[in-house]
Amino acid sequence: MQMHRFGFHPGRIHHIFISHLHGDHVFGLFGLLSSMGMSGRKAPVNLYGPPKMQEVMGQHLKFFGPLPFELRFQAPGDPDKVIFEDSKVTVTPIPLKHRVPAFGYLFREKEKELNVIKEKITSLGLGIADLVRIKRGEDHVCADGKVIPNSKLTLPPYRRRSYAYLSDTLYDPSLVRYVKDVDLLFHEATFSERDEKLAVQTMHSTSVQAAMLARDARAGKLLIGHFSTRYRDPELLEREARTIFPETDGVKDGNTYSIPLVRISRE
C-alpha cells in the first residue's frame, strides 16, 4: 500500500533485502508479496535475509496458501562475500549486533564503461573493435604504430557510487571498515543521546552514535531513522546527530535520495 502511495510499482521489484526478523522489519513483506500475487505476478522474487526467514515464510504460506510465483531464499554468508550482483551493482552483507541475527547491506555500483570523446572517433577513424577496447581502458595503436594513451581518448571515469543500510544495531565502531567512504549511509538512531543506556539494553543506537559512525567512515551523507515513538520531536535526534556529523537528515518512509554521478578528476 505504502509503495503505491509513493508511486513505486511493486512489479519492478525482483530482490528484497531483509535485515532481521523483528516485526517492524518483516510484517510489511507479507502484504507486499500477497499484493504482488494478486496483481498476477509470475516472475520469481529473491529474498535475502537471516536463515530463519525461509522457515517463517514457509509457516506463513502454509496457513495462507501459496503464492503464484516462486520465492528464492538466500542467507548472507561472509561479510565480504557478494550476495547479489548484476551488470550494474554488487551487494554485500554487513554483520550487525542486535538481539537476533541481523545484517546490513552495502550496495556498490560497478565500474562503468568509459565514454569515448566523440571528435576522436572521426579524427582517428575509430572502428567498433577499437571503441570496445578503448571503452575497456586500453590505449589505441594507430596504423603507423603510434600509441595514443587512453586518457587522451576518453572522458574521465565516473566515481562508483555506494549506499549502505545499517539497521538495527548496537553502536559498533568496527562497522567503519565495511562502510568506509560510502556516499550515503543509513544508520538507525532509535534513541536520543540521553537514553544511551536504553540503547545498549535493547541493542539499538543513539543519534550521536550513528553520527560518530558516519564521521569515522567519512561518509558523504548520513540518513537516520527508526526513531522511537517516545520522542515527540523527532527533529531532536537530527539536531543531536548534526553536532557530530552536519550532513545528516532524519528520514521518513517515502523519502528518496539520489547520489549524483561525478567524474573523477584526472589532474
- Report, as residue numbers or ranges, the catalytic residues: 24
Pick the closer one to Zn ion by CB: 168 or 240.
Answer: 168
**Of 43-51, 85-93, 118-126, 165-173, which segment contacts Zn ion by CB under 5 A?**
165-173
Give the residue with the Cβ less far from Zn ion, 165 or 245: 165
DSSP one-letter code for 114: P
The span of 61-69, 79-87, 168-176, 186-194 binding Zn ion (CB under 5 A) equals 168-176
Q: Establish if 52 lies at the interface with Zn ion (CB under 5 A).
A: no
Residues making up the chain, counted from first to last: 267
Residue closest to Zn ion (Cβ): 22
DSSP state of 112: P
Kindly state the smallest distance separating residue 258's Cβ from Zn ion, in Å.
Answer: 28
168 binds Zn ion per the rule CB under 5 A: yes
22 binds Zn ion (CB under 5 A): yes
In the complex with Zn ion, which residue's Cβ is closer, 230 or 239? 230
Closest separation between CB of residue 241 and Zn ion, Å?
20
Distances (CA, A) of 186 to 54, 180, 183: 26, 13, 10
Residues 6+ apart with CB under 8 A from 79: 92, 93, 94, 95, 178
Nearer to Zn ion, 116 or 224 (CB): 224
Please state the three-class secondary structure of 121-161 as a single string: HHHHCCCHHHHHHHHCCCCEECCCCCEECHHHCECCCECCC
CB of 265 to Zn ion, least distance (A): 42
Closest CB to Zn ion among residues 27, 257: 27
Whether 211 and 242 have beta carbons less than 8 Å apart is answered as yes
Per-residue b or e along 193-219, where b marks 16 or more CB atoms closer than 10 Å to that residue's CB: bebeeebeeebbbbbbbbbbbbbbbeb
Determine the Cα–Cα distance for residues 100 and 166; give it in Å rounded to an integer.
14
| Closest separation in Å from C-beta 247 to Zn ion | 26
Minimum CB–partner distance for residue 100 and Zn ion (Å): 7
Task: Catalog residues that contact Zn ion under the rule CB under 5 A.
Answer: 22, 168
